[in-house]
Structure formats: C-alpha cells, structure tokens
Structure 1
C-alpha cells in the first residue's frame, strides 16, 4: 500500500512541476501525505527567532498569524501541532488536508524586514482506499482475486491554469 501511495504522490509532483511556470517569486513547493510530519524552512537572516513571524493563507483563510516574535499564536486551531525550531523552521505534526496553503516566514528588526521572505506552498495528498476497511489501521490487506481502488486528492493553494 505504501509503495502505491508513494507512486501516486510522485506522479502528482511530476505533473504539477510540468504545469507550473515561474513567476519571479522564490517559492518552495512541499508535497506531503496527510498524517505525516513536515518541516517548512525559513530563510534565516538573524540569530534566534524572536523577530520571526510565520503566516498562513489558503482559499478559506487570509493571512493567519501562526507565530509572532518566536511565540506560537494560541488562537489558531493547529497551534498544538506546530513547533518553531531553533533554526526558525516551522514543523507541523500530523498534517491534514486543512493544512494545505501558503506559509510565509518573515523576519523583522525594529520595523524593517531583514532578508527575503521564505514562501512555502504546502500541497497535501490524501489517499483513500475503497472498498474501505472497518478497521482504523492505515493498511489494507488484499487476497488474490480481490481489487482495491486508490483515490488520490491533492489539496493545493496554487492555481494551475491550462
């Protein structure tokens, strides 16, 4: 099952890379399966993270502040799954499809911005299996003659225009 999920994710990454162009803005694309942990890198220009702000936006939320001055915003739904590392990277535990979107790391010193923003577009892959098993396990057992259908959904903030 894991090999099929990896193959599906690889195919979507290749398709996405072929369909997107460059816009002059430095943006990192990170693809992750739901349920995994992910680390989003910041262009650390300063020592320490006390002047670091991570923001998040997607099609449903516009510029939600996740951290400010190196401190997590406790008012966000995902604050318990966020960790700000010593290198200012943002770790998200147990990624869900609601986590897709654009994450931006900014660093300020007494007002002026220091260094370039780090923009990370997080794409979340959700793989479902049918017929679905009644067990809560992420593994599905099959026997000869049985068929299993995998459905892949990629949650992405970036629009793809053909």
Structure 2
C-alpha cells in the first residue's frame, strides 16, 4: 500500500511538471506560432521564459529569459510574442522537432514539416516522361503518423497501388513515393496529404505547386508591372507632345513686337528731260 502511494505521488508530481503537449503541422515557407500556455490567471512574464529545441537527442536553448539567442543560426527567423509564444518565420524542414516552453510548468510543441519534391530535384513538370515524387514528414510523432500519408489527384480521388499513369510505392515510416507519367499540355496535379486516424487532413502539399508553374500572386504582380510600364510610356509620350506643341518660336528677337508695317508699291518712273 505504501509503495502504491509513492507511485501515485510520483505520477502526480510528474504531471505537474510536464504540463501539456501540442502538435503542429506546417509546410516549408510558412510561419509557425508555438504557444506557451499556462493555467495561471496572471499575465505571463516573458522575461522568465526559456524556449528549448530538441531534435536527434540534442537540446539547444533558442530563447533565454525571453530573448532570442543571437548565436542561434535561426536567430533572424525567431521572435517572441507578448504572450511568450515562439514565432518561427519561413519554416524549413530543419525546423522540425520538439520545442519546450519553460515557465514554471513545461509546455511542449512537436513541430512537423511536410515536404514534397521530385526526383531528380530539377525535374521539369512540363516535360513528358516519368518522375518519382517523394513526400516526407519531419518529424514523425506521434506514432500514428507512420502510415498516415496518402496521395490524391487533381479531382481529389485517392491513388492506391498502380493505375493509369501512376504507381504508389510502399510507404516507409513517414516517407511515401509516387511515380507518375508526366504529359505536357495536361493539367495534372498530385497532392500529398497527412491524415489522422479519422482521415481528417492535417496538412497537404501539391506537385506541381501550380499548373502553369506560376502562382496566382506572381501572376498578379506580373500584370501590375506590365500595366505600370504601359502607363509610364503613355504619360511620357503625352508630356513630350505637350512640350512640343507649346515650344516658343526661335529667334523671337527678330520678330516685330506687334507694330503694323505698311508696304507701298513703287513703280519705275521715266527720267525727267534735261533743260536745253
């Protein structure tokens, strides 16, 4: 009985120290906000908050007493909000791992990053031929994620086994491969999805990112640049034409100041006779 009480006390103490765990899923280039929640009703004191990063059994202190460590290779992409949450900008696969907010009670967030890439990496999606797509999840936690990657086409239909123009290879851990036949001129898109046990999509990534290889934002920016260039040309032509039409005549000093000038016709007269 005494041993049971000791075990119960140990478990309660461990729960009080460990706090809560969160799971976050992102794609490269996105922004992640890692919460540092506490059950205390008082506002957080960020000057006493540390953020620890753990991956591959190595722990690094990214934030000390609310300040981002400048020796960190990611210092330019890290910041701390007023609620002590950690913000990571322009996420990469190397950012995946466990982040722990230490503020009395530890709060851990497991950040997983989903990537999709062709093999070879420089494969042109607009050319004919076969290409193998690799979908990877960094990090693979919790354990149910091990077989949670699925592929769908542009219609949303799940790709299983082998079919018309594709073949799904066996999934290992949190990496899945899909071999597809590229056909130029066809708007084919393949999506890698991370789903939970209820088949709810947690995050997904597309290949290619856009059918035409140009994102909607890039297209809009390109259109704005073209319109701006046309307007500049039109304005320049109008300004030059206006200056030309209002240009003063040259040699103004030789022009009469407005006085009327009268002209008289002069005829030749016969010479007068000399007196004898």
TM-score, length-scaled by structure 1: 0.65
CA distance in 1, matches of 2:67, 2:23: 25
Aligned to 2:63: 67
**Residue of 44, 47, 51 corresponding to 1:47:** 44
Aligned to 1:29: 23
CA distance in 2, matches of 1:38, 1:52: 18
Aligned to 1:128: 117
Q: Higher relative CO (CA 8 A, sep ≥ 6), structure 1 or 2?
A: 1
1:35–1:60 CA distance, 2 compared to 1 (3 A): farther
Q: Is the 1:40–1:89 contact (alpha carbons within 8 Å) kept by the matching residues of 2? A: yes
Further displaced range: 29-38 or 41-50: 41-50
Bigger radius of gyration among the two? 2
Deviation above 2 Å: which 4+ runs of structure 1?
Answer: 44-48, 129-134, 140-143, 145-150, 157-162
1:141 Cα deviation (Å)? 5.2
Aligned to 1:84: 80
CA distance in 2, matches of 1:100, 1:47: 26
1:77 Cα deviation (Å)? 1.1
Structure with bigger helix share is 2
Further displaced range: 36-45 or 92-101: 36-45
Within the alignment, does 1:152 sit opposite 2:148 as a pair? no
TM-score, length-scaled by structure 2: 0.40
User: What is the total number of aligned residue pairs between the two structures?
Assistant: 125
Within the alignment, does 1:58 sit opposite 2:55 as a pair? yes
- Partner deviation per Cα, 1:88-142 (whole Å, 9 max, x = no partner): 11011111111111100011xxxxx2xx3211001111210245447xxxxx754
- Partner deviation per Cα, 1:9-67 (whole Å, 9 max, x = no partner): xxxxxxxxxxxxxxx86311111112211111111444341111111101152x21111
1:58–1:131 CA distance, 2 compared to 1 (3 A): closer
1:146 Cα deviation (Å)? 5.8
